[in-house]
Structure 1
Amino acid sequence: MTSSSSPGIMATGLTKRYGDRTVVDDLTFTVGPGTVTGFLGPNGAGKSTTMRMLLGLDAPTRGRATIGGRPYAAHPAPLQEVGALLEARSVHPGRSAHDHLLALAHTHGIPRRRVDEVLELTGLSGVARRRVKGFSLGMGQRLGIAAALLGDPGTVILDEPVNGLDPEGVLWIRDLLKSLAAEGRTVFVSSHLMSEMALTADHLVVIGGGRLLADTSVTDFVRASGQDFVTVVTPQAARLRELLAAPGVEIASSGSAAAGARASAEAPAETLEIRGTDAAHIGRTAAAHSVPLFELTPRIASLEQAFMALTRDAVEYRTSTALEGAMA
């Protein structure tokens, strides 16, 4: 694939209302080239509506969306500027994969050879002449991605691209997205799979209730969530609390250590969960004041934990506490 220049995606004050219901509310963000940007949010957050407005499928009530410096509809050859996958099954079931892509190529001035290239790229060459109605969900996803890449676009927008893919397919799409970004393309992808986004995305745009919640790197997003902590086991918990006391430092007790071997002659060992400082600082402080530590373990938060913490109040459907307890 040949790299295409791309100024990226810009949403400015993007708002969408249906009657008195606001689905997207004054959303402003930029997706730059050269990185994989994950688009996250709970169900009902407004992700699909936002993507549709970016592609001109829904008209915003207010605000503006541009791709490559202009609205999608203003591109003279949109498929060669923007490749998108919003609904993989929007294909005539009686057509073969090859004929579906060939029809798209003919109507957009794309060379016939490009059809074979994207079929090979997406692993569909062996089933290219089969009718789409016989495709599995994963094969349908691959065909949708092939269509998105047909015009060799500078911007790629994919909604839940790993749906229906087996582990090999998930790894393939992960590597594909990274390679597209490495070529200087703008890659904007939504997903509910936090573990996959943690491995794929460099940057995140997170929304909830139609509003922007975060626009930052994956690393900074997880760090800012406050979900990281350090587990410390010590027989001098009160002394360590005094030494570490500082603005932003939170220390919670998890109770006495279970192992009798951890108890000293002076006092039982206590387990602490410490937030707001790192293991290195805790270790140095304890050593400088001769506070014995039986355990010093950093607990790094996952992207899923950070996401759940941020979007807790923006979840549309919440499992009841009683149900959670019954299923535990």
Structure 2
Amino acid sequence: MTIRAHGLTKRYGDKTVVQDLTFTVNPGTVTGFLGPNGAGKSTTMRMLLGLDTPTAGHATVGGRAYAAHAAPLHEVGALLEARSIHPGRTAFHHLMALAHTHGVPRSRVDHVLALTGLTDVAGKRVKGFSLGMGQRLGIAAALIADPATVILDEPVNGLDPEGVLWVRNLLKSLAAEGRTVLVSSHLMSEMALTADHLVIIGRGRLLADTTVADLVRESGAACVKVVTPEAVRLRELLSGAPGVEVTGEAPDTLHIRGTDAPHIGRTAATHGIPLFELTPQTASLEQAFMDLTHESVEYQATAMTGAAA
């Protein structure tokens, strides 16, 4: 089931939180929904699920609004706020209450408890859950009716490394089954390992709708590391070309952006410059994301220049 957002706009008084946002999330892929704090991600997810009414535009899941589905939990499973559970309920009773609303059998409750690693604490009251256990219960609730579409807001928040790996494998397996998966996260390293596609927003506007590989490749953050005893001479030969940027971290080491390793190697060979190292270095998703969103960060921090008096 495809998720479509068309012209989504949300204003609170004179503050525009989401502005003319249009994107598509397709089945069979894990789509990462990224943006700095305050970018409008949670508001957008709430509009996708009909919890917030758009000021303009509309959103559909499987061709219709979420509220128009006769049995929405069978169509869309969502985790927006893991702690939005009555603290006096046990994990089992919370899931059973959800199951009763959609005719889901107890066997499915037992299945998602086992899937999320909560079987041993199924009878424990939620108020005693750790943050990570709460996240697992929220994911179990999202999957209770075996939905075709899954929308998760920061699902790895509070999880230990084993839990993060579990979520990664779970999302990939859901997508491999042909489901539509939309997930937000601030962990760029995890998104690089999990997501197939990215939708990135900043200050409520679409900044990129692309793959991880394309974003990293087009970011300009990738470079070639060169080690040579004639670094000064090689710098002079390469710096004159349009778009080429040469920096150095040591007298014999250069980092070169804007050209590739074969061109650098040919230039060095033509001028008899020996190379001890010529290594292409791929940019990280984190660096590409930071470069793309640096003007959209809500709160800009400054570097420390000295100790406080």
Q: Which residue of 1 aligns with 2:282?
A: 300
- Give the match's secondary structure for 2:288: helix
Q: Which residue of 2 aligns with 1:242?
A: 237
Q: Distance in 2 between matches of 1:318 and 1:242?
A: 37
Q: Distance in 2 between matches of 1:93 and 1:206?
A: 34
TM-score with structure 1 setting the length:
0.89
Pairwise CA RMSD: 1.8
Q: Distance in 2 between matches of 1:306 and 1:68?
A: 32
2:10, 2:54 within 8 Å by CA — same for their partners in 1? yes
Q: Which residue of 1 aligns with 2:88?
A: 94
Q: Which residue of 1 aligns with 2:51?
A: 57
CA displacement 1:135-161 (0-9 Å, x = unmatched):
111111000000000111111000000
Summarize the alignment of residues 150-229 of structure 1 with structure 2, pairs less than 5 Å apart: 150-229=144-223
2:39, 2:202 within 8 Å by CA — same for their partners in 1? yes
Does residue 130 of structure 2 align to residue 148 of structure 1?
Answer: no
Deviation, 1:133, is 1.1
Selected match of 1:272 from 254, 259, 277: 254
Deviation, 1:58, is 0.2
Please tell me the residue identity of whatever aligns with 1:182.
A
Selected match of 1:283 from 252, 256, 265: 265
The count of aligned residue pairs is: 307
Summarize the alignment of residues 64-79 of structure 1 with structure 2, pairs less than 5 Å apart: 64-79=58-73
- Give the match's secondary structure for 2:96: helix
CA displacement 1:207-232 (0-9 Å, x = unmatched):
00000001100011111111011122
TM-score with structure 2 setting the length:
0.94
**Structure 2: tracts of 5 or more residues without a match:** none
- Relative to structure 1, is the Cα distance of residues 43 and 72 closer, same or farther in structure 2, using a 3 angstrom cutoff? same
Deviation, 1:284, is 3.6
2:150, 2:179 within 8 Å by CA — same for their partners in 1? yes
Selected match of 2:3 from 2, 9, 14: 9
**Structure 1: tracts of 5 or more residues without a match:** 1-5, 258-269
Summarize the alignment of residues 249-268 of structure 1 with structure 2, pairs less than 5 Å apart: 250-254=244-248, 257=251
CA displacement 1:98-144 (0-9 Å, x = unmatched):
11111111111212211011011101111111111111111110000
Q: Distance in 2 between matches of 1:17 and 1:326?
A: 42
Q: Distance in 2 between matches of 1:125 and 1:136?
A: 15
Q: Distance in 1 between matches of 2:290 and 2:63?
A: 34
